[in-house]
Structure 1
């Protein structure tokens, strides 16, 4: 199952900020980083405001990491509207 999502520049930035810590944490633990690494490259290569197809597994990974970023920002009392908007696009 794939789903098309339109990514704006802001949403691309949020996704990359959310995926990077996950990638490095998995790498430090010695786990496979192939899937998050490929997803980071795919998102980075996409032109802004274009629709792209993502698998269910990729969307799950994006949801999980963006939600973690949102929760970290909430814990620090920081602004989260952009992360909330990105999560709504993924649902």
Structure 2
């Protein structure tokens, strides 16, 4: 099942910022990074403010990594408005 999501420039940055640590952690552990790498390339190549189709697996990966970024920011006492905004778009 595919779902269309409109990514603003800010939400693209937040999503890529969340996916990068996941990608490198999985790579360091010797796990497959094909799915996350493909998603990073897909998001990076999208023009801002355009709708794109994402699979359920891609949305789950984005949601879980953005939530991890949000939790890391909260633990440091930082604001999470941008991460919260992106999470709401994914629901």
Alignment of 1:84 with 2:84, yes or no, is: yes
CA displacement at 1:4 relative to structure 2: 0.1
Q: For residue 38 of structure 1, what is the aligned residue in structure 2?
A: 38
CA displacement at 1:54 relative to structure 2: 0.0
- What per-residue deviation string (whole Å, max 9, x for no partner) do you get for residues 12-31 of structure 1? 00000000000000000000
CA displacement at 1:86 relative to structure 2: 0.3
2:85 & 2:49 partners in 1: Cα distance? 15
What are the residue-to-residue correspondences of 1:58-69 with 2, within 5 Å? 58-69=58-69
1:85 & 1:17 partners in 2: Cα distance? 14
What are the residue-to-residue correspondences of 1:69-80 with 2, within 5 Å? 69-80=69-80
SS of the residue 2:51 aligns to: strand
Counting matched residue pairs gives: 91
2:37 & 2:87 partners in 1: Cα distance? 20
What are the residue-to-residue correspondences of 1:4-15 with 2, within 5 Å? 4-15=4-15
Gap runs ≥5 in structure 2: none
Gap runs ≥5 in structure 1: none
CA RMSD of aligned residues (A): 0.2
Structure 1 runs of 4+ aligned residues shifted over 3 Å read none
